[in-house]
Amino acid sequence: MTLYQECRLCPRECGVNRSGGASEGHAGFCKETSQLRISHVGPHFGEEPPLTGTHGSGTIFFSGCSLRCSYCQNYQISRDGLGQPVDLDEVTRRVERMIRDHHVHNINLVTPDHFLPHAFSLISLLRRKGYSLPTVFNISGYQSVPILKLAELYADIYLPDFKYADPALAAKFSRSGDYADVALRAISEMIRQKGFLDSFDSGSLLASRGAMVRHLILPGYVENSINALTTLFLEFGALLPISLMSQYSPVLHHEEESMNRTLTAEEFQAVYAHAVDLGFVHLFVQFPEERGPGIKPPFLPDFRLNQPFFTPHD
Ligand code: SF4
């Protein structure tokens, strides 16, 4: 927990003393003190098939975020701070209940960066209690290598984004002009530790170890997506597992006009065709037409509800 003092848990390196919790701790860019806050614990069926399986991925959504993108699909928790203060025992109980009741395939920590000391403790506790489910670090890609080295013992699967190849776009939307450089170093470290997602080679339908990179296509920014995919291909090669996401929905009014609509079929097709042309071998794709006309995007959550996500039983 000393990592909360002079906090450098993410590349923002605010250096604030977050320890002391909500009453005494200071919040940095992520807006969170060392008081752990969680917005949701539950099975999630919107992840890629090797993580979702048949019983769902066991997600834990942490409140706050160190990136705070202006278009975040989870803005209720990342930017507006929705969530409840909890202690480690309470989270552990909720995770155990989720495992027991839903038989989820993994423990999926969604945006844990700014609460990593708690995340490490939670995983240690669960392992001591005999749980051996793979742990997924579901993260923005904006991570520092020294912190990832600390995570090596606790992570089995890394699921980073690679959001931007364009520094100006990263600066404008996420106030992180160094995003591409930082994320490429971070993804290299994740692959060094765990390799590529293992479900393709093992013949298993479920992943137990490795890295897969996600890229969300932003409306009006096809060139950023094309350059991001090219960069990933040149850095890591054709065997890098990629998840190409077309689910973007405007959730807040955005100053960039194109960001107030969903992706067009032409935009999606241009990016998808580029990914195929590059020759990525392991490519997960959300095809926009799979949503069906007039259907609310199934991946858009509402964290004010007990069950924020669509489930197959809805
Ligand atoms: S985790 Fe929060 S306080 Fe710490 S460096 Fe990152 S943004 Fe700053």
- Kindly report the protein residue whose alpha carbon is nearest to atom 3 of ligand 1: 28
The answer to whether residue 296 is domain-embedded is no
Q: Which residue puts its alpha carbon closest to atom 1 of ligand 1? A: 114
Cross-strand bridge partners of residue 244:
215, 285
For ligand 1, which residues put their CB under 6 angstroms from it?
7-10, 12-14, 16, 18, 28-30, 66, 114
How far is Cα 192 from Cα 194, in angstroms, rounded to an integer? 6
pLDDT of residue 1: 86
Please state, rounded to an integer, the average pLDDT across all residues of the chain.
91
**pLDDT tens by residue, 105-152:** 999 999 999 999 999 999 999 999 999 999 999 999 999 999 999 999
**Residues 161-182 pLDDT 10s:** 999 999 999 999 999 999 999 9
Residue 37 lies in a domain: yes
Q: How many domains does the chain contain in total?
A: 1
Residue nearest to atom 6 of ligand 1 (CA): 10
Any idea what the CATH number is for the domain that residue 38 is in?
3.20.20.70
**Does a structural domain hold residue 55?**
yes
* Domain that residue 257 falls in: 2-291
pLDDT in tens, 179-211: 999 999 999 999 999 999 998 876 778 999 999
234 has a pLDDT exceeding 60? yes
Looking at the domain assignment, is residue 278 inside a domain? yes
What's the mean pLDDT in 264-292?
90
**Residue 233 within any structural domain of the chain:** yes
Q: Has residue 217 been placed in a domain?
A: yes
C-alpha separations of 60 from 18, 96, 123, 124, 182 in Å? 21, 12, 12, 15, 25
Look up residue 159 and give its two tokens: 């699921």
Within a domain: 308:
no
Residue 298 falls within a domain, yes or no?
A: no
Which has the closest alpha carbon to 144: 236, 12, 1? 12
Quote the pLDDT of residue 228: 98
